[in-house]
Amino acid sequence: MLKNVAAVLLDGVHPFELGVVCEVFGLDRSDAGLPVYDFAAVSVEGPNLSTHVPGMTISTPYGIERLEEADLIAIPAAGGPTHAYPPELLAALHRAVDRGARVLSVCSGVFVLGEAGLLDGRRCAVHWRYARELAVRFPRTRVDPDVLYVDEGPVITSAGTAAGIDACLHIVRTEHGAEVANAIARRMVVPPHRDGGQAQYVERPLPATRCDTVGGVLAWMERHLDEAVTVEELAARAHMSPRTFARRFQQETGTTPYRWLLRQRVLFAQELLEGTDETVDAIAYRAGFGNAAAMRHQFMKALGTTPNAFRRTFRVRSVA
């Protein structure tokens, strides 16, 4: 069980990327019944460090020895890909992985993992700006610039900035289940997931009601996932022509009504598989698939797994 988390501070650390890790793992949310982590920001280059923001500095009393007890070591972006990383840090990361800890990079923090040799033979995510350079410098890794994050065993890598939130919430969800990850996401006022990267690990997002013109229809669709609807019916609810509605929907959600509805049905089915004892047939009906065979087909297409396999892997566990 994840209990001890350390964030590595390097000179030139990016405050936002560091803040992402601190926000998810460093705050006491025990008032909401959420897990509390033993969290520390650790410096390997002295107690006082510069940041990516001109004139802003940061200090910490924790040194590299703190990494030896961490279950998760997070490395926010710092200094850019050309930064010279301390050999003692690279060795500490290797020791951590060898003893079963996990390491997480946010944005260009992935270059630290590359220098430590932890990307060799692994697929990884990175900000699209750095994808080519990462692939050239570390040819034994498989760089995927099109995803938000990648979980490859003990090594989790995320793309730019906000993708670190997705990766951190993924770790929480893997450790504590969807209910805890969703609760933290609500406290942060972010969706529990955004599509992209490791689709099997996403959970049902908060109702998407912030769109300018189709938000009300989205909320209605989510409440009626078990109903068959047409674009014409949805357009009528939005008081638009079908053509205008389809165009606005694409502009505001980035997808079509059919694909959006299908994705919500898959996500709702995931939630039921994780948190209830309902049969697969009953869940398929409630989620709007009609039958278990149709749901199985969509699960394989979207997640690369079956409903039963997903349930075995992701049953909600109680928080210690």
- Banded model confidence at residue 285, pLDDT cuts 50, 70, 90: very high
Could you give the CA distance from residue 12 to residue 58 in angstroms, rounded to a whole number? Answer: 10
Average predicted confidence (pLDDT) for the chain: 87
- pLDDT given for residue 15 in this prediction: 94
Instruction: Read off the tokens for 23.
Output: 């926000």
State pLDDT tens for residues 48-88: 899 999 999 999 999 999 999 999 999 999 877 777 899 99
Residue 219 phi, psi dihedral angles, 5° rounding: -60, -40
52 and 188 both lie in a single domain: yes
- The answer to whether the Cα torsion of 5, 9, 14, 15 is positive or negative is positive
State pLDDT tens for residues 217-248: 888 998 899 999 999 999 999 999 999 999 88
75 and 95 both lie in a single domain: yes
Q: Work out how many domains the chain is built from and give that number.
A: 3
Could you give the CA distance from residue 225 to residue 270 in angstroms, rounded to a whole number? Answer: 13
140 and 279 both lie in a single domain: no
241 and 264 both lie in a single domain: no
DSSP state of 149: E
205 occurs within a structural domain? no
State pLDDT tens for residues 159-209: 887 889 999 999 998 898 888 888 898 899 887 766 544 333 334 444 443
State pLDDT tens for residues 84-134: 899 999 999 999 999 999 999 999 999 999 999 999 999 999 988 888 899
229 and 263 both lie in a single domain: no
180 and 68 both lie in a single domain: yes
- Banded model confidence at residue 316, pLDDT cuts 50, 70, 90: low
86 occurs within a structural domain? yes
Q: What is the CATH number of the domain that holds 263?
A: 1.10.10.60
Range of the domain at 249: 215-254
Whole-model pTM: value is 0.65
DSSP state of 46: -
232 and 135 both lie in a single domain: no
Residue 157 phi, psi dihedral angles, 5° rounding: -125, 145
